[in-house]
Amino acid sequence: MYVIMVYDVNVQRVSKVLHIGRRYLTWVQNSVMEGSLTNAQFKRLKSEIRQVIEEDEDSVLFYTIRSPKDVRREEIGIAKGTPSNFV
């Protein structure tokens, strides 16, 4: 599946969330990551994120798409990240 992760977390936890996310996904823009994951990888990612964030204070959104072929991405302006695994 193709996953887009968007996060808005307390500044004290940003680097931890970014570090976890980069093990699974490609950073594309401030607080946005994307990439292809297996179901098992997706479960591990969510579990690791839950261990770091404060659910009553932070927010992490996951958008899942069945196939990277179903994604259309259009960019305007400066590119902040290049998803190496984007089809």
pLDDT in tens, 33-44: 999 999 999 999
| Residue positions forming the annotated binding site for Mg(2+) | 8
Residue 61 lies inside a defined structural domain of this protein: yes
Give the pLDDT band of residue 86 (cuts 50, 70, 90): very low
Gyration radius of the chain's alpha carbons: 13
Overall number of domains in the chain:
1
Backbone φ, ψ for residue 45 (5° rounding): -60, -50
Give the pLDDT band of residue 8 (cuts 50, 70, 90): very high
Q: Which pTM value belongs to this model?
A: 0.82
**What residues make up the domain containing 48?**
2-69
| Residue positions forming the annotated binding site | 8
CA distance 26 to 81: 8
pLDDT at 87: 43
The tens digit of pLDDT for each residue in 15-65 reads 999 999 999 999 998 999 999 999 999 999 999 999 999 999 999 999 999
Looking at per-residue confidence, does 87 or 51 come out higher? 51
**Residue 46, phi-psi category: left (phi > 0), alpha (psi -120 to 50), beta (remainder):** alpha
Runs of H (alpha helix) within 5-78: 14-24, 39-52
Give the domain CATH number at 47.
3.30.70.240
pLDDT at 73: 76
